[in-house]
Structure 1
């Protein structure tokens, strides 16, 4: 699923494809905003970890799960 993270005072947003479920991402964002964690920590599909300070979060957009398309045909 695609996750977009807006960071305060940064001109670009962070976009990543996450293997985590929407509920897991939402729980991580909620914990960061509630002060339970100082960092928002998410892992992308390639296993890279993205860390964003909780006090710098502007917004988080959680997209729908996308299916991988293979080939050139239209289905």
Structure 2
């Protein structure tokens, strides 16, 4: 699933492909914003961890799970 993270005072957003579910990402964001944790911590599909200070979050966009397409078929 694609997750886009906007960071205050940063010119670009952070985009990761995560193996976590939408509910897990939402829970991590909620915990970071309510003060339970000082960092938003997400893991991408390769096992790399992305840490963002909670007080610098501008937005988090949680996409739908991506389906992998195989082949060269034309979409009509």
Sort the TM-score into its range (normalised by shorter chain).
over 0.9
- Tell me which residue corresponds to 1:62: 62
Distance in 1, matches of 2:71 and 2:48, equals 27
**Map 1:33-44 → 2, pairs under 5 A:** 33-44=33-44
Distance in 1, matches of 2:37 and 2:65, equals 26
Answering whether residue 73 of structure 2 is matched by residue 73 of structure 1, we say yes
Aligned residues between the structures:
75
Give the TM-score, by structure 1 length.
Answer: 0.95
Distance in 2, matches of 1:20 and 1:49, equals 12
Which contiguous aligned blocks of 4+ residues in structure 1 show a shift greater than 6 angstroms? none
Give the TM-score, by structure 2 length.
Answer: 0.94
RMSD: 0.9
- Tell me which residue corresponds to 1:21: 21
Distance in 2, matches of 1:37 and 1:74, equals 46
